[in-house]
Amino acid sequence: MRALRWCARHGRWLLIAGLVIGIALPGLARAMAGAIVPLIALLLFFAALRIGPRAAIPRRAALPRALGLTLILQLVAPLVAAGLLTWAGLLHTAGGLGTVLVLAGAPITGAPGLALMSGADPAAALRQLVLGTALLPLTAVPVFALLPIFPDMGAVALGAARLLVVIALAGGSAFALHAAMPQLRRQAAVTAIDGALALSMALVVIGLMAAVGPAILALDMALPTLVALAFALNLGPAIAVWHSSRLALPAPEASALAIAAGNRNLAIFLAALPPEMVTQLLLFVGCYQVPMYLTPLILPRLLATLRQRYGGRDT
């Protein structure tokens, strides 16, 4: 318990440590890659266990807004991006394809954990995660119809269905445990769960950074451009969603939606890509983890600055 409390206090720095370890030790990162899926399920379990079922269920009055936000983020934005990239002749590059895949993705399963570490509302992030993932098989089809690299659209729908199963199993078991053990709602238990969540996220990112370390050693000239693109894809949607929500929603909820908008599940689409395209995208996938795992350090400060300038609701 003491170790988990320490992890909870230093969760932001644990995420950075995971990034550094994944870059510095590519052999360990490759070995950890096989544990990514169970670790993702574990961190989702801890997030749901902390929040509880009541807070995770979307409110009826808020459902139209959440649905509209999901369609804009996962359907309209990637369609516009794909059209512009096709016009510019950049759609088949790693950066172009990565841009469309990121914008088409649902929020990452770690979004509630990032919200928690950022002082935002983890329940709002979890609700957006569930809704975005549930709609993913529908929103992805028209987007990827523009991408000839997908030989089988069923593979995308199957990937989304698998993620829904993971969410249902991890979330359902966590909610059942939350209901069966009221002592988990005590502050000491909540802090321990926060620590377990931070530790799980730090372990996940190690496996996702396998391609970045070798690229740094090889002085890959594409690396700075891909990192800059990753930050733009992370912070751009986050700021846009926060700005549109700042007057309508309490500050913690607006911040949580910003986190969900800026941190998308790119990995779900990799199983549907041809192997040569997966290899081309691995470096971009690693670069995208950098702004994602720096979110608790960067986004709260950025949004605080924007709140001072533009205003927003406190509660």
Residues 156, 140: Cα–Cα separation, whole Å: 7
pTM of the model: 0.84
The owner of tokens 């969603």 is 241
pLDDT tens per residue, range 265-307: 887 776 666 667 777 788 888 899 899 989 999 999 999 999 8
Residue 236 falls within a domain, yes or no?
A: yes
| CATH classification at residue 141 | 1.20.1530.20
Q: Is 177 within 8 Å of 48 (Cβ atoms)?
A: no
pLDDT band for 67, please (50, 70, 90 cuts).
very high
Distance from chain centroid for Cα 223: 21
pLDDT at 248 over 60: yes
Q: Which pairs count as long-range contacts for 56-62, CB under 8 Å and 24+ apart, including other chains? A: 56/123, 56/126, 56/127, 56/130, 56/171, 56/175, 57/127, 58/127, 58/130, 58/131
For residue 261, is it within any domain? yes
User: Is residue 314 in a domain?
Assistant: no
Residue 309 · residue 264 · CB < 8 Å: no
Each residue's pLDDT tens digit, 8-44: 888 888 888 988 998 888 889 888 877 877 887 887 8
Please check whether residue 15 lies inside any domain of the structure. yes
What pLDDT does 72 receive?
96
Supply the mean pLDDT for the chain: 85
**How many domains, in total, are found in the chain?**
1
Compute, in degrees rounded to 10, the torsion defined by CA atoms 228, 233, 237, 243.
0
What radius of gyration do the chain's Cα atoms show?
19
Residue 313 lies in a domain: no
Exposed, middle or buried: residue 218 (CB in 10 Å: 0-12, 13-18, 19+)? exposed
Residue range(s) defining the domain that contains residue 125: 2-307
Q: Is residue 116 part of a domain?
A: yes
In the predicted structure, residue 315 carries a pLDDT above the cut 60? no
